[in-house]
Amino acid sequence: MIYTVTFNPAVDYVLRLNALSQGGINRTASEEICWGGKGINVSTVLKMLDTESVALGFTAGFTGEALEKAVKSMGIDCDFIRLEQGVTRICVKLFETESSEETEINPGGPEIDGQAIDKLLHQLDNLASGDILVLAGSVPKSVPNDIYETICKRLENSGVLIAADASGELLTKLLKYKPFLVKPNHHEVGEIFGCQIFNADQAEACALRLRVMGAANVIVSMAENGAVLAAEDSNVYRIGSPKGTAVNSVGAGDSMLAGFLAGYLRTNSYEEALRWGTAAGSATAFSKGLADRPTFDRLLKEISQ
């Protein structure tokens, strides 16, 4: 089973407008509500790919209740820990049609105390060998910044496979626990190694360095320039991005992670899993929301030709 953890889920209020007038009154062209948070995004795309998962994390207040109800209505199993104080945050996403610019307003979210963290850790103690645990995104200020490391240390030698989509110290501190997969983008890898990445050769070099530091498999995604996978079978796989117009960056990385995991479980092939990940990530990038199955199937066929 795949388990996803979202420390700070969100109700995403997505507003599309022709142009944003600073300090003035703005009229939207359309609005929609999405149920967000990186782990929830992963679970949503896994469901689209007919791969079951359990969504874990923290919710609070009336917005948290609405989010849990929505996740369950999508057919996703969940076992969120309810916080007594605060509300699950509402994030505002502004998309400007004329400039193609995206603006995000993300609140901090409810405080997660030590007791709630302990409840999550006890939940994770029940995972079995062969299960996959997805740790995705940043953590709220109320959560210790070494929480990923704490989780990995607790699950060390349990046989649970860790897949992490994180940046900075959240990522580097867990490498010594030999995670199954890490998926930083080229900007995040550049920050880790103090360099800029402009091509696949540079991405490959960094991916191999992360493997030496402990990760079994490393994907470095480069948006429209494709991705590089340094795999535990000692091969390096490169892939380009399919043709399409990018209209949305929210959730593309989460979709790639979900696609890779679903593809690997389905085919037991790292190369094919990278195709699945690229198709899923691109399907989200080319859509107003998360990837849908027809777009994924079309792009996977295009990539595989």
> Cβ(257)–Cβ(185) under 8 Å?
no
- Cα separation, 143 vs 139, whole angstroms: 6
Nearest residue to 6 via CA among 57, 42, 69, 81: 57
Instruction: Give the chain's length.
Output: 305
- Cα separation, 216 vs 178, whole angstroms: 6
Q: Is 165 a catalytic residue?
A: no
- The residue annotated as part of the active site, out of 233, 254, 292, 297, is 254
Identify any residues that bridge with 217 across adjacent strands, giving them in sequence order: 181
> Cβ(230)–Cβ(200) under 8 Å?
no
Nearest residue to 94 via CA among 147, 29, 49, 42: 29
> Cβ(213)–Cβ(206) under 8 Å?
no
Name the residues annotated as catalytic: 254
